[in-house]
Structure 1
Amino acid sequence: MKSGPDLNRFGPIGLVVVQSTSLCNLDCSYCYLPDRQKKRVFYLELLPLLVQRILESPYAGPEFSLVWHAGEPLTLPTGWYDEATVILQCSLAERGAEGLEFTQHVQTNATLINDAWCDCFHPNRIVVGISVDGPEEIHDAHRRFRNGRGSHALAMKGIEALHRNNVPFHCISVLTADAMEQPELMYRFFRDHGINDVGFNVEEQEGIHTSSSMQGSAMEAKYRDFLRAFWHLSEQDGYPVVLREFQQVISLIQGNQRMTQNELNRPFSILSVDWQGNFSTFDPELLSVASDRYGTFNLGNLKDVSLVESTQTDQFQRLFTNMSRGVETCHNGCEYFGLCGGGNGSNKFWEHGSLASSETNACRFGTQIPVQVLLERFEAGPPLTHQPTH
């Protein structure tokens, strides 16, 4: 019997996504951010207030990660992050939070990474995530500069700098239809460039990106074949490219656990803050999005309202009620609920126009197909040695 979602549970805040700048030096074809050509910068003076809002709330937990994201963070100078790190450390110390486990992350397209950036990552203990879509012809079809030039060559220089300076990193790759026919080329790209921690984000319909090359049952079948081939190549080769899509399911199965909800639909498990200090919860992709149905998904500004006060507004109650209905619908009607916890609100909104909906294209690609491929592999028997748990 499936466990029902605990829809009264808020927090703890484990992830804080902060838009250090809205500017991105790329113009990727599938990007959902509307203002990525504008250089708007987060006010560092807001960092002590951000720490205060988190720690004064009942949603604070024993740890959280702050991720600089939602633009290209490295378009700001290294000194900006040096200053931000000092402010964060001082703010946590002033509030007696020395025992709190805090990590700082950056998600970057890697095109600006050089030795100077690696010298910034090391002392500031910044965990690096890069976004690269595979070999040149696949990557450059979508990840281009505004002049139309591909970004692959510069991204590879960034990866070389990370390796040269012994900076560990993980990778996110957006999968489009271009990659589906070439699983071997994709696998060998990661293997040959020493990338062994990969998450596949299947191209989604979201924000200003209103269509996806990965829609339809034919693409679902191709993705299933792609994952099968990718896993087989990893086993055959002995190089453990650990895929996020499989890792979460393996961890749940090995621990005999099931989800009753996930952090993307549980209030104040994630806190997202834009460059002005406006904040939201649920999916970071909903930050500063406006809609006819819900208005803005923002809940207020750090300068004006506490996190608890934001939950007492009509706006939050409308979002929460709709999100809860969507999770309940998933729980009552989807056999994969225990392995995804009710889906992602942003995908429900962008595909169906409502948070109170259920299955999405993102569900099928993000959970259902990887689970099907994984269970097939379990049933086939050993070896399963190249998807180690972290």
Structure 2
Amino acid sequence: MSLHPFSQRPRYSQWFTAKPQTVVVQPTTWCNLDCTYCYLPFRRLKHEMSAEVSDALAESVAAFADGAHPIDIVWHGGEPLALGPRKFTALLTPFEELRRVGRVHHYVQTNATLITEAWCELLTRHEFRVGVSIDGPAALNSQRVDLRGRPAFDRIVRGIDRLRVHDIPFSVIAVVGTDGIDHPEELLDFMAGLGCRSVGFNMEEAEGINTDRQQPTPEQAETFWRRTLEWSRCHAGELEVRELEYLGEYLRMIRAGQRVDWDRRRLDPIPTVSWNGDVVLLSPELADTTDVGYGNFLAGSVLDRPLTDILGGAHRLRYVQEFLAGLEGCRAGCEFFDFCRGAQAANRYFENGSLATTETNYCRVTRQALVTALSTVAAKEKEETV
């Protein structure tokens, strides 16, 4: 698919925000863990972002970040903390004035195994929002291992303990695979006990180099979400579940007559900046993916052009055009589109081989199963009240 680029600009603007809310940054490709489901192809290579790239990126961000609409800078790897506090501080320096005046907020997604006193001081000084990757108690976290195959659970928990000692709030992302899909209550009890602000459950996906492992089925996912909804009802206020919050926001807006406002929401192009300055759009998981037909998903480099220019030409990219076609297909043919909004470009590519496609297993287990689970719970409660 290759339509005339000028005809694509209004089409792109219909779906995407002009300015990103989030910029994902890869300070290093290397990770000290070797999780069995990891999708990153270069996690054993020690590529590191240079000061030149960080300077160029900060200059780019300054062009569209303002106090009314600050940009979330999400440091994501590899394992960002593997860079070490000294090198990481050097990458943060060009952003410091932007941070002080509220034009950017820093986030980091970490496996927490490398958190030390020095890291806690750095995270506090730069007002980081911290996300920790942990899949549950030790038995359900068994896929998170180090390069020697040793369980990482105890080291992750020690890192979390240090965050708590330093009063650093954190959220959690948990990958839910075949180990955890049948144990939602155990997962939720554990997460609530960690003291995290919220938890997001990522159903294991086929993406990147992780293509051979068994994924949760829609039936398993619906049961998982149903039991999660029931747990949350019984433990109100104890733990925020990201997916339930998203569904709840949708329902509140529809019930309040704000459908127009919901429909006006646009997708974030999510520019992801690799260690060498290369930029991909739509999904961070597409970074470091080699596909000549899609130009390796490269939209440009911050060393050559500012992000404003790169985003200004997004509508010309073949993979963006195909993704727009896929979104239009979802809107035309999927009964869940009103809630789902048809995002997740990487899943379309890795599962179906084309971004112009529509439904994926990600859709079925993360969006559709959540809605059908809520319907089941509501029907059950209605029967009990009759």
TM range (shorter): 0.7 to 0.9
Question: Do 1:196 and 1:240's aligned partners in 2 also have CA atoms closer than 8 Å?
Answer: no
Question: Do 1:171 and 1:198's aligned partners in 2 also have CA atoms closer than 8 Å?
Answer: yes
Question: Do 1:261 and 1:341's aligned partners in 2 also have CA atoms closer than 8 Å?
Answer: no
Question: Do 1:311 and 1:317's aligned partners in 2 also have CA atoms closer than 8 Å?
Answer: no
Q: Give the CA deviation at 1:78.
A: 1.5
Letter in 1 for 2:88: Y
Greater CA drift, 49-58 or 236-245: 49-58
**Structure 2 match to 1:223:** 221
Equivalent runs, 1:268-347 vs 2, <5 Å: 269-307=269-307, 309-310=309-310, 316-347=316-347
**Aligned partners of 1:53 and 1:287: how far apart in 2?**
19
Letter in 2 for 1:72: E
Greater CA drift, 294-303 or 53-62: 53-62
Letter in 1 for 2:120: C
Greater CA drift, 312-321 or 353-362: 312-321
**Structure 2 match to 1:387:** none
**Structure 1 match to 2:144:** 143
**Aligned partners of 2:327 and 2:36: how far apart in 1?**
31
* RMSD over equivalenced CA pairs, Å: 2.7
**Structure 1 match to 2:244:** 246
**Structure 1 match to 2:183:** 182
Greater CA drift, 79-88 or 244-253: 79-88
Work out the percentage of aligned pairs sharing the same amino acid.
31
Question: Do 1:82 and 1:124's aligned partners in 2 also have CA atoms closer than 8 Å?
Answer: no
Letter in 1 for 2:73: L
**Structure 1 match to 2:230:** 232
Q: Give the CA deviation at 1:260.
A: 5.8
Question: Do 2:299 and 2:314's aligned partners in 1 also have CA atoms closer than 8 Å?
Answer: no
Equivalent in 19, 35, 51 of residue 42 of structure 2:
35
- Structure-2-length-normalised TM-score: 0.87
CA displacement 1:156-194 (0-9 Å, x = unmatched): 111111111111000000000111222232122112222
Q: Give the CA deviation at 1:362.
A: 0.4
Q: Which runs of 5+ in 2 are unaligned?
A: 1-10
Q: Give the CA deviation at 1:308.
A: 5.1
Q: Give the CA deviation at 1:259.
A: 4.3
Q: Give the CA deviation at 1:353.
A: 0.5
CA displacement 1:196-239 (0-9 Å, x = unmatched): 40000000000111134225xxx221221122223323333455
**Aligned partners of 2:65 and 2:167: how far apart in 1?**
38
**Aligned partners of 1:298 and 1:123: how far apart in 2?**
34
**Structure 2 match to 1:86:** 93
Letter in 2 for 1:330: C
Residue 105 of structure 1 pairs with residue 110 of structure 2: no
**Aligned partners of 1:313 and 1:6: how far apart in 2?**
11
Greater CA drift, 19-28 or 243-252: 243-252
**Structure 1 match to 2:172:** 171
Q: Give the CA deviation at 1:343.
A: 2.4
Q: Give the CA deviation at 1:305.
A: 2.5
Question: Do 1:11 and 1:60's aligned partners in 2 also have CA atoms closer than 8 Å?
Answer: no
**How has the CA–CA distance of structure 1 residues 9 and 165 changed in structure 2, closer, same or farther, with 3 Å as cutoff?**
closer
**Aligned partners of 1:222 and 1:292: how far apart in 2?**
36
**Structure 1 match to 2:136:** 134
CA displacement 1:41-68 (0-9 Å, x = unmatched): 1112322321322344699982210011
What is the DSSP-based 3-state SS (H/G/I as helix, E as strand, rest coil) of the residue aligned with 1:293?
helix
**Aligned partners of 2:114 and 2:198: how far apart in 1?**
21
What is the DSSP-based 3-state SS (H/G/I as helix, E as strand, rest coil) of the residue aligned with 2:168?
coil
Question: Do 1:20 and 1:275's aligned partners in 2 also have CA atoms closer than 8 Å?
Answer: yes
Letter in 2 for 1:199: G
**Structure 2 match to 1:70:** 77
Greater CA drift, 68-77 or 284-293: 284-293
**Aligned partners of 1:33 and 1:272: how far apart in 2?**
14
Q: Give the CA deviation at 1:313.
A: 6.6
Equivalent in 125, 128, 138 of residue 127 of structure 2:
125
CA displacement 1:59-98 (0-9 Å, x = unmatched): 99822100110210111221233333332124x49xxxx7
Looking at secondary structure, tell me which structure has more helix per residue: 2
Letter in 1 for 2:359: E
What is the DSSP-based 3-state SS (H/G/I as helix, E as strand, rest coil) of the residue aligned with 1:180?
coil
Q: Which runs of 5+ in 1 are unaligned?
A: 383-390
**Aligned partners of 1:249 and 1:337: how far apart in 2?**
13
**How has the CA–CA distance of structure 1 residues 59 and 78 changed in structure 2, closer, same or farther, with 3 Å as cutoff?**
closer
Residue 11 of structure 1 pairs with residue 13 of structure 2: no
CA displacement 1:292-340 (0-9 Å, x = unmatched): 5313101121111334544677994312211110010000001111212
Greater CA drift, 253-262 or 311-320: 311-320
Letter in 2 for 1:248: Y
Q: Give the CA deviation at 1:106.
A: 0.6
Question: Do 2:207 and 2:350's aligned partners in 1 also have CA atoms closer than 8 Å?
Answer: yes
